[in-house]
Amino acid sequence: MLLLKKDLFIGGVLLKEFEFIEKIKPSYYRNSSVIKGIGDDAAVVSPPNGYELVIASDTMVEDIHFSFEYMQLSDIGFRVLAANLSDLAAMGARPLYYAVNIAVPSTYSDEQLTDLYVGMNELAQKYKLDLIGGDTVSANELVITISVFGKVLPNRKRLRSYAQTNDIVFVTGNLGEAAYGYDLLQSNFLLENYFTNRHKRPIPRIDFVELTDSVIRMSLNDLSDGLASELNEIAEASQATIVIHWDDLPIHSKMTNIEIEQLKKYVLSSGEDFELVGTCSPTEWDLLKEATNNQLPVTPIGKVTAETSTPEVYLTINETKTILCKSGYSHG
Amino acid sequence: MLLLKKDLFIGGVLLKEFEFIEKIKPSYYRNSSVIKGIGDDAAVVSPPNGYELVIASDTMVEDIHFSFEYMQLSDIGFRVLAANLSDLAAMGARPLYYAVNIAVPSTYSDEQLTDLYVGMNELAQKYKLDLIGGDTVSANELVITISVFGKVLPNRKRLRSYAQTNDIVFVTGNLGEAAYGYDLLQSNFLLENYFTNRHKRPIPRIDFVELTDSVIRMSLNDLSDGLASELNEIAEASQATIVIHWDDLPIHSKMTNIEIEQLKKYVLSSGEDFELVGTCSPTEWDLLKEATNNQLPVTPIGKVTAETSTPEVYLTINETKTILCKSGYSHG
């Protein structure tokens, strides 16, 4: 496992350069469970005893998942790693290591590549993550794959199949802020405010994992694909019916004057805030509220009303109950 | 962790399609240590007790690492996974799981994408690997990142820093065959023979790992970057001097009539055969020979002559000793 392949063809086969590896190779590892980090054919780790290992990976592509029009390379590094850490949070896992695979145009300088890692390193420092490997190759557009590794106690993992009848459905933070920030950026690349930052530098909800260790059973998803999609996934995996209420959905006060159909798109269909949606029993809900009190906003938005072989998600709005599809479209 | 994101923008945020996931999702997992495979935010595994976990990843790009001129999509899937498995073999690890992250042009059909997985699945079946996740996104060119996970007993891992004075230096198989096959393909895309197949469908040396469990100490690299480069890595990591002999290098009889300078490029500088190069003590060499006897060709090609703070690799050819650089260039 190497970290830079330059296009030096000899006999039709790539030779590789090693200078860049030395530049980004950590001088020490934060986790003692890293037996061998960067610098051999592969990394060797010894995940902590008694824990299960959680593995997530995400790929992001220039002009599809991010844009240089209004993002620095360090923002992009930050955002891709944040998206991955959000997947760990959604499993109830604490971060341990990450690996970075980059396909990059040969016009990039070492300094630009390093900026990508600077953004990642901000999160890595905060959550004590170790960079253990990856690969860097040439391509015509920037494609970044990050893999993250976390640990979870077997009885504290948060699967989307764990919802049960009578569970309270909750979300962290507010809904639709990143998508709203994205749209603001489209009309003004230079704009910088709370919402644009929610798109450029989303904070994964690792704090939620740390605060809710005492809660035994929770189903959980991150809002990478939007509330409607994630709730439908929980409903399907748990074979359950979920009912949520429009009036209970947490929306930033500065977004409430947005035209209703557009607001519904932001709140129901837009993801990538990397907030969490989940369910737990009414008893554990009290525990969860207490554990997160004053530190992290968690809002109840509905209930799991039944376990069923025909799972559905319903949205009540103005006392009308409609079926909420994955796409966020709702119909009677 | 999902396996297909289509470019359906709502509120500026991607929605994802799930049909393809269902298509490639395994119906069962070969390893009981897979707690949760595809189908949640991340995979959950519980690596076997007493083992360390080995993690490798490689990224390959259309027209740089592979070509559609003479490779099927199934060949490409096979080759990328083989390269990763070779990294596991080079650490002395046995394969467990893999994850696949693909950036793919939107012109690809589901059938074409499936063909990629068909190629990978041939190796996955052979080595009892489980597909545990990944991501599929749109891009302008095909970029594939595979991550593989393997297990190794702590006292059987094969680091490149493990070489010691008096060690025998050995290689598996023959040298330069894949690069020769690659060049043959450049002059005739339709050619199919032993050498072209060595380029298109290299076999990772997992068999070597399985046969040499009894050998306690080995330094080991796979020949992904060519013999000269890999030997220099072992020399540097072990702070050792290595001397190898041209006349001892295993070369296929059908390659011996190649002009000498070209042959040297194939043999010394060309990688991606995914054979292994390593060192072990003279005593353990006897054990290794016996363990691999009749099942896998292993050839002694030189010795570790000293441990030193100024590591070098030397090549003797026609009784002249030259310094062998990483690039394969040798000088007096």
Q: What pLDDT, in 10s, does the model give residues B27-55?
A: 889 999 999 999 899 999 998 999 999 99
For residue B62, the distance in angstroms to the closest alpha carbon of chain A comes to 8
The 8-class DSSP code of residue B211 comes to H
A161 labeled binding residue: no
Task: Write down the residue that tokens 């899937």 correspond to.
Answer: B77
ipTM above 0.95, yes or no: no
Size of interface A-B (CB pairs under 8 A): 279
B183 labeled binding residue: no
Q: How many CB atoms lie within 10 A of CB A210?
A: 13
- For the stretch B264-289, pLDDT in tens is 999 999 878 899 999 999 999 999 99
Residue A1 contacts B, CB cutoff 8 Å: yes
- Do B137 and A59 lie within an 8 Å CB cutoff? yes
Quick one: pLDDT at residue A21? 66
B213 labeled binding residue: no
- pLDDT, mean of residues A84-92: 98
For residue A1, pLDDT over 60 is answered with no
| Partner B, chain A 167-196, Cβ-Cβ below 8 Å | 176, 178-180, 182-183, 186
Q: What span, in angstroms and rounded, lies between the C-alpha atoms of A32 and B209?
A: 27
For B302, the token pair is 């030189």
- DSSP line for B264-322: HIIIII---S--EEEEE-HHHHHHHHHHHTTTS-EEEEEEEEEE-SS--EEEEETTEEE
- Do A160 and B41 lie within an 8 Å CB cutoff? yes
Type and span of the H or E element at A23: helix A19-24
CA B213-B214-B215 angle, to 5 degrees, is 95
Quick one: pLDDT at residue A12? 32
Please report, for residues A70, A99, B90, B120, B122, the alpha-carbon distance to residue B127 in angstroms, rounded to integers and kept in the order given. 46, 24, 15, 11, 9
The 8-class DSSP code of residue B2 comes to -
Exposed, middle or buried, A58 (CB in 10 Å: 0-12/13-18/19+)? buried
Quick one: pLDDT at residue A5? 39
- Phi/psi at B262 (5° precision): -65, -40
Closest chain B residue to A276, measured at CA: B41
- Do A99 and B266 lie within an 8 Å CB cutoff? no
- For the stretch B139-174, pLDDT in tens is 999 999 999 999 999 999 999 999 999 999 999 999
For residue B233, pLDDT over 90 is answered with yes
| Partner B, chain A 71-130, Cβ-Cβ below 8 Å | 86-88, 90-91, 93, 97, 99, 101-103
Contacts of B17 in chain A (CB under 8 A): none
| Partner B, chain A 133-162, Cβ-Cβ below 8 Å | 133-141, 143, 145, 147, 149-150, 152, 154, 157, 159-161
- For the stretch B317-331, pLDDT in tens is 998 999 999 988 887
* Cβ within 8 Å of residue A104, ≥6 positions away: A113, A136, A137, A138, A139, A142
- For the stretch A206-264, pLDDT in tens is 999 999 999 999 999 999 999 999 999 999 999 999 999 999 999 999 999 999 999 99
For residue B224, pLDDT over 60 is answered with yes
Task: Write down the residue that tokens 């996934």 correspond to.
Answer: A233
The rounded mean pLDDT for chain A is 91
| Three-state SS at A213 | coil
| Partner A, chain B 39-68, Cβ-Cβ below 8 Å | 39-47, 52-61, 64-65
In terms of phi and psi (left: phi > 0; alpha: psi -120 to 50; beta: otherwise), the region of B167 is beta
- pLDDT, mean of residues B223-233: 95
Q: What span, in angstroms and rounded, lies between the C-alpha atoms of B295 and B290?
A: 10
More confident of the two residues A85 and B20: A85
Quick one: pLDDT at residue A64? 85
Mutation target vs B (from A55, A67, A220; most B CBs, 10 A cutoff)? A55
Question: In chain B, pLDDT over 90 holds for what percent of residues?
Answer: 79
Q: What span, in angstroms and rounded, lies between the C-alpha atoms of B232 and B325?
A: 7
Please report, for residues B21, B26, B95, B205, the alpha-carbon distance to residue B209 in angstroms, rounded to integers and kept in the order given. 33, 26, 10, 7
> Which structural domains are found in chain B, ordered by start?
8-154 (3.30.1330.10), 158-331 (3.90.650.10)
Candidate ranges A99-113, B34-48, B62-76, B155-169; pick with highest mean pLDDT = B155-169
Quick one: pLDDT at residue A18? 53
Contacts of B133 in chain A (CB under 8 A): 55-57
